[in-house]
Amino acid sequence: MASPGFLDRRTAVAAVAGAVVAALVIALAVLLWPGGDDDETAAPPPASSPAQVPTEAPPSEEPSEESTPETSEPPTTPDAGGGTYELRADGSELDGATVAAPLTVTVLDEAVESVTWTLDGSYLEKDSSPPYELTLDPDPGEHELRARVESGGNRSRREVTFTVSADGTSSTAPGTGSSAPAAAPSAQASVPAAPKAKRVVDVSTADELRAALSSVRPGDRIELADGTYVGDPQFEAPAAGTKAAPITLHGSRKAVLTTGSTDNGGYGLHVTGDYWRLDGFTVRTAKKGIVLDGSVGSVLVGLDVGRIGQEAVHFRSGSANGVIANSDVHDTGLKSPQFGEGVYVGSAKSNWGDYGTDGGPDRSDAVLVQGNRIWNTPAEGVDIKEGTRGGRVVGNRFEQAGTSGENSADSWIDIKGSDWLVEGNTGTGTLLDAIQTHVINGAPGSGENNTFRGNRVLGGVKGYVVAVSPEPGAHGNVVACDNEAGPGGAGVSNIECQG
């Protein structure tokens, strides 16, 4: 039998050993316990912000964004990967900007795998499929938005601060140069009124939209619910309306058609049927925006087409008597700046074999481009190709259009067609001239008998309001003296003005 002193010593040793083991267990638990900003299993904080949040509690596997303070820029750890991700709202850099609500925020990068969004400390959602966009409708005042981006197994974070105006106005963050221009001046041409639908087809998914585009009949209207519709590889509109009963595709700016990539993939929307009316919705993040092939009499009105790899809107393959009006066209050429036109009408002579009539010109004639805001297009804001005739470019507003110099892109508007009217357009910023016209070798009648009047440069144009090429002839073109050159420009034209 052990003595009481021995038992006391044994008890003491056991107590000390137990304490050491307990301390090791606690330390190990602290080291291994999941948590912090990079943990995938920690629950998000409650959604208490008055800004837009989900109506249901977010899933428990979403991370907390509040446990670790973040700086305004992504981490710069060498193995963090992912790079710095720019957040843009409706085409403009968001950080430091004053914006109008609602707004759509986009992460600019092709290699993104997921984005986790937090606004004012409240988790919003995790976006795991392109396009990586978020539509917000926060209250007026200052807000903080965080985006955690995963790419190639690595993570980067971006935090921006922006202000929502109370009066609906917006301004670009200092140094970004990517805000929408002011409203286009009033145009003198009319836009066809919206027709009354014979039948309304409501859609809310990509599959429903795809089916409706193929099965609609003359006089029908497809009504897009707000949301994102991803084409795979692109949405096709082969059905045909008639002049008396066009087919309408309508939605708000919160209804977004996309392919999810400005690099690979197809068009946001490909229209091959006649007499469509595309009204009000958004096309975003696609190789090309809207392409009309052989679509006669189609009207595009009130659209937002931006963040496009090449051109935003293209009337092609004899898409005559079309209209694009009162739309926002911006941020094109993200993949191919030399092909980043805003509005493109017809086809270059080198492509007539593919898109012309019997190997001749692409007769996408009599197209009206009216009352649009066109900005941030590295190629021309409006490019009118040889072989087209009798159209009008009227009352549009341009900013930073034709800025790349690639593929001779150095003007807001380039007219290579004939018998076009270019009137009442205004704007700022291009590489050389506001408007140009060119005669193309081997394309008889190109660049001839066009009329230019009442166009106004507000600044940022070092060349002419209207430059006619080749010199010295006018080639039947008429440049009115009421065109106005801006400060620092070369003057009204390189030919004598009239009137």
- What mean pLDDT is reported for the chain? 82
**Residue 93: is it exposed, middle or buried by C-beta count within 10 angstroms (0-12/13-18/19+)?**
buried
Residue 300 corresponds to which tokens in the numbers above?
């595009």
Residue 46 corresponds to which tokens in the numbers above?
């409650």
Give which of 108, 144, 150, 147 is closest to 128, Cα–Cα: 150
- Ordered domains of the chain (ranges, CATH): 46-165 (2.60.40.10), 201-493 (2.160.20.10)
What pLDDT does 157 receive? 82
Q: Do 350 and 362 form a contact (C-beta atoms < 8 A)?
A: no
Entry pTM: 0.71
Q: d(Cα 36, Cα 63) in Å, to the nearest integer? A: 8
What pLDDT does 92 receive? 66
Q: How many Cβ atoms sit within 10 Å of the Cβ of residue 376? A: 27
Spans of the chain, pLDDT less than 50: 1-14, 16, 20-21, 25-84, 173-177, 188
| Per-residue burial over 131-155, b = 16 or more CB atoms within 10 Å of its CB, e = otherwise | bbbbbbebeeeebebbbbbbbeeeb
Give which of 173, 175, 150 is closest to 62, Cα–Cα: 150
The answer to whether the Cα torsion of 461, 462, 465, 470 is positive or negative is negative
